[in-house]
Amino acid sequence: MTRSSSRFRYSRWDGTQVGFDLDADGVLEQINDDLLYHGDLNAALRRLLHSGFEDRNGERVQGIKDLMDKLRQERRDRLERYDLGGVYEDIAEQLRGVVDTERAALDDLQQEAAASGDPRRQEVTDEAVTDRRTQLDLLPPDLAGLVRELSDYDFTSSEARERFDELTQQLREQLAQRWFNQMAGAMSDVSPEALARTKDMLAELNQMLQDRNAGREPDFDGFMERFGDLFPEHPRDLDELLEVMAQRMAAMQAMLNSMTPGQRAQLEGLAEQLLEDLDLRWQMDQLSSNLQQLFPDAGWNRRYEFSGNDPLGFADAAQVMNELGDLDQLEQLLRG
């Protein structure tokens, strides 16, 4: 997934900017028929704003309807392009490749024993190979199950073991990036130290909520001194900070809501296996519960139907969910 590198600069209107050229006479000319027919000036202006108009140079200025059509198309483009569960199949396919490598190593081992001319060696090898093949035959088809069972499997092939370790590390990093980028928007490091710092941030944020509920003044300035680099939005007070966190966590919840039950179970199963930190998960659950009470309209129940073929990685899926949430908010704003 590629991100746009476009930059925009905004400034206060000072009269020097070039906009559409429209005066009162031009507006009156375009609403004249509507005004004569309905006799309601405000309604005529609203309809003009909704449908768009032409300026004095004959240039058409888009109305609210055009903007809403564009927003819907942007949403449709994303939903028809991406496959929210495709990343699972890609990694599962690589894990099946690991299993194939292990099977080939077992075949080689058995052939070497047969060629050795040592009956005892062949007997022991046959028993060991049969046992390992049985374990491989009984591997579950889902990604979380594959990771769980292969983690306890005694590989014969060092190549298969190394590749499995690489894939599980890749999964761990992707999961960490996906979960913790929602908690810490500027976080690029998923080292144990960085994750521990994120846990500290969540604990302090939950404590500030407890302090506020108890009538104590939360230490917002101290919090920002310690963790401000995790918030590129630069919230000015606790309310803005909580709103930022609510938006992030609602986007994460929207991704879970948009998954099939099987996809969601795989993600949760992987997280339990690869991100083994009960206190961290408790802090996240606690904050999510608090924010859902404070911001019930943040879109916690949003879900989307993806129908495309491009697999979304964990981090990209979070980005797409944020974009879809922004489109929803813009459409709601235009609806009034």
Burial level of 12, CB count in 10 A (0-12/13-18/19+)?
A: exposed
- How far is residue 57 CA from its own chain's centroid? 45
Q: Examine the domain organization and report whether 62 and 124 are in the same domain.
A: no
> Which residue, of 171, 198, 226, is where some domain finishes?
171
Q: Examine the domain organization and report whether 101 and 63 are in the same domain.
A: no
Tell me if 182 sits within 8 A of 318, measured CB to CB.
yes
Compute the distance between CA of residue 316 and CA of residue 320 in angstroms, rounded to an integer.
6
Tell me if 231 sits within 8 A of 248, measured CB to CB.
no
In a domain, 14, yes or no: no
pLDDT given for residue 91 in this prediction: 78
In this predicted model, which residue has the larger pLDDT, 31 or 101? Answer: 101
Q: Examine the domain organization and report whether 192 and 243 are in the same domain.
A: yes
Q: Model pTM greater than 0.95?
A: no
Counted domains in the chain: 3
* Mean pLDDT along residues 278-282: 73
**Which residues touch 290 (CB under 8 Å, ≥6 apart)?**
206, 209
* Mean pLDDT along residues 82-101: 83
Phi-psi region of 309 (alpha: psi -120 to 50; beta: other; left: phi over 0): alpha
Compute the distance between CA of residue 135 and CA of residue 84 in angstroms, rounded to an integer.
30
In a domain, 300, yes or no: yes
Q: Examine the domain organization and report whether 184 and 260 are in the same domain.
A: yes
- How far is residue 12 CA from its own chain's centroid? 34
Q: Examine the domain organization and report whether 316 and 217 are in the same domain.
A: yes
pLDDT tops 60 at residue 275: yes
Report H helices in the chain.
24-38, 41-51, 64-81, 86-116, 119-137, 143-151, 158-183, 192-213, 220-227, 238-258, 261-274, 278-294, 314-335
Q: Examine the domain organization and report whether 130 and 42 are in the same domain.
A: no
pLDDT given for residue 65 in this prediction: 87
Compute the distance between CA of residue 178 and CA of residue 180 in angstroms, rounded to an integer.
6
pLDDT tops 50 at residue 4: no
In a domain, 270, yes or no: yes
139: domain range? 89-171
Rg over CA atoms, the chain: 29
Burial of 146-164, coded b for 16+ CB within 10 Å and e otherwise, reads bbbebeebebbbeebbebb
pLDDT tops 70 at residue 16: no
pLDDT given for residue 3 in this prediction: 44
Q: Examine the domain organization and report whether 66 and 98 are in the same domain.
A: no
pLDDT given for residue 154 in this prediction: 93
Q: Examine the domain organization and report whether 289 and 179 are in the same domain.
A: yes
Cα(first)–Cα(last) distance of the chain, in Å?
Answer: 33
Q: Examine the domain organization and report whether 118 and 147 are in the same domain.
A: yes
> Which residue, of 56, 78, 100, is where some domain finishes?
78
